[in-house]
Amino acid sequence: VRLPQQPCAPYRDEVRRAAASAYKMYHKCLQINRIIDERGVAVKTAMIVCKAFHARRCLMLYQMAFPDVNIRAVPDESRRAGK
């Protein structure tokens, strides 16, 4: 059995898109954090509503951008794939 030279080649574009999406989302989190700081708003808790597929990544990125805030990611079940 011969393996292809680049076994992940069919997925390269998907990986790049996912990485770019995560990068953009993290910078949006940082931008939101900056705006909140500029306005002097004290945030203790936050609830992020997103597609179920993105909930884990979204939660992780917002926790990184807002380390002192209690954050929950709530999947929006009305936007599930196939509906």
What confidence tens digit (pLDDT) does each residue in 6-22 have? Answer: 555 566 676 677 777 77
SS3 71: strand
With contact defined as beta carbons under 8 Å apart, do 73 and 59 qualify?
A: yes
What pLDDT was estimated at residue 71?
Answer: 93
- Give percent above pLDDT 90 in the chain: 17
Select from 72, 65, 74 the least CA-distant residue to 46: 72
Across residues 43-71, what is the average pLDDT?
89
- Residue 2 pLDDT > 60: no
With contact defined as beta carbons under 8 Å apart, do 25 and 17 qualify?
A: no
SS3 5: coil
- Residue 33 pLDDT > 80: yes
Q: Which residue has the higher pLDDT, 82 or 1?
A: 82
- Give percent above pLDDT 70 in the chain: 77
